């Protein structure tokens, strides 16, 4: 009899898990509205399924539906006070909402946000994401409201114990935010030396661009391309050449390589590569070539304002 009940129920349990796996996959593929719909229907029949609730909160968060996400994560926290991830996501959703409301409203949320992050960090000494959240929280918050470089560094040091790469990147971020560019550059470079991931190279490239050092940004991208062999890096090099009027011929070569090897996985549509080529040829005073590429960009995306404005500028050459 017991075996019969097991056989009868197992397909239902398996089907339920398959539904949740499908919803998780929809979120990974950024189909958040579909995931939200399926999870809402699922929770009508299984209102106490914590995994489904968490996934629904995630789907809301990705769509910037902060109130809905906060309600879900608050319910999860109330259900399980010792789950660090619930506290982290609850604090994160409140933090994102605080950025979209009035300063007075945000002021009233600060205490709850900090408490949630600190609780998550205490519950899970190895939780990397919440330590990153605390680093950013203490650096972005004004000192009069509790912001503190020293507090941020405390969690950067904790990150370093868990992952040297994260620790170095966190310190780079702290010193960059505190306007200490030499130290920021030092730690971003240390992150590259230890980790060498695209994330590390991206951080240093972005830092150089903010510091108005396009030559260094371009050199860093070349090193990243040599290591990672990603076509998207050719676009980034062409973009920097176009935006800063440097290494124009190299920019042309990179953008042509990008177009030649283009795939949907590269992320940036071909129209933008054509746009960057038109910018470069305009800088080179080659009106004919500039018009050729801006027309290609407009053919692919006729409503893009950047493209229409660029054509007007070229016509005046």
The one-digit pLDDT tens for each residue of the chain (317 residues) are 444 444 444 444 434 568 888 898 999 999 999 999 999 999 999 999 999 999 999 999 999 999 999 999 999 999 999 999 999 999 999 999 998 999 899 899 999 999 999 999 999 999 999 999 999 999 999 998 899 999 999 999 999 999 999 999 999 999 999 999 999 999 999 999 999 999 999 999 999 999 999 999 999 999 999 999 999 999 999 999 999 999 999 999 999 999 999 998 899 999 999 999 999 999 999 999 999 999 999 999 999 999 999 999 999 99
pLDDT value for 13: 40
pTM of the model: 0.86
User: With helix as H, strand as E and coil as C, how does the chain read?
Assistant: CHHHHHHHHHHHHHHHHHHHHHHHHHHHCCCHHHHHHHHHHHHHHCCCCHHHHHHHHHHHHHCCCHHHHHHHHHHHHHHCCCCHHHHHHHHHHHHHHHCCCCHHHHHCCHHHHHHHHHHHHHHCCCCHHHHHHHHHHHHHCCHHHCCCHHHHHHHHHHHHHHCHHHHHHHHHHHHHHCCCHHHHHHHHHHHHHHCCCHHHHHHHHHHHHHCCCHHHHHHHHHHHHHHHCCCHHHHHHHHHHHHHCCCHHHHHHHHHHHHHCCCHHHCCCHHHHHHHHHHHHHHCCCHHHHHHHHHHHHHHCCCCHHHHHHHHHHHCC
pLDDT value for 10: 41
Q: Which domains does the chain have, with CATH numbers?
A: 138-229 (1.25.40.10), 230-317 (1.25.40.10)
């Amino acid at each position: 009899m017991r075996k019969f009940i097991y056989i009868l129920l197992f397909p239902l349990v398996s089907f339920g898990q398959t539904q949740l796996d499908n919803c998780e996959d929809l979120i990974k593929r950024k189909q958040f509205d579909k995931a939200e719909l399926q999870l809402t229907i699922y929770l009508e029949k299984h209102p106490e399924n914590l995994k489904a609730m968490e996934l629904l909160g995630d789907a809301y968060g990705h769509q910037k539906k902060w109130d809905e996400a906060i309600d879900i994560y608050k319910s999860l926290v109330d259900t399980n006070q010792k789950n660090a991830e619930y506290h982290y996501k609850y604090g994160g959703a409140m933090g994102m909402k605080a950025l979209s409301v009035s300063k007075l409203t945000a002021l009233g949320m600060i205490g709850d946000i900090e408490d949630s992050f600190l609780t998550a960090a205490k519950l899970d000494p190895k939780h990397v994401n919440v330590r990153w959240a605390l680093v950013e929280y203490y650096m972005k918050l004004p000192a009069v409201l509790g912001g503190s470089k020293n507090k941020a560094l405390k969690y950067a040091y904790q990150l370093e114990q868990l992952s040297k790469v994260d620790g170095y990147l966190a310190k780079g971020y702290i010193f960059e935010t505190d306007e200490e560019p030499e130290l920021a550059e030092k730690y971003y470079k240390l992150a590259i030396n230890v980790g060498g991931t695209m994330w590390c190279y991206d951080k240093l490239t972005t830092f150089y661009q903010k510091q108005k050092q396009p030559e260094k940004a371009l050199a860093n991208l070349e090193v990243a391309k040599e290591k990672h062999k990603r076509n998207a890096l050719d676009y980034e090099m062409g973009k920097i050449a176009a935006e800063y009027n440097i290494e124009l011929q190299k920019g042309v070569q990179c953008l042509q390589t990008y177009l030649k090897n283009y795939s949907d996985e590269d992320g940036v549509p071909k129209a933008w590569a054509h746009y960057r080529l038109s910018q470069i040829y305009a800088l080179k005073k080659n009106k004919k070539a500039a018009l050729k590429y801006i027309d290609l960009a407009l053919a692919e995306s006729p409503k893009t304002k950047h493209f229409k404005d660029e054509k007007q500028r070229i016509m005046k050459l």
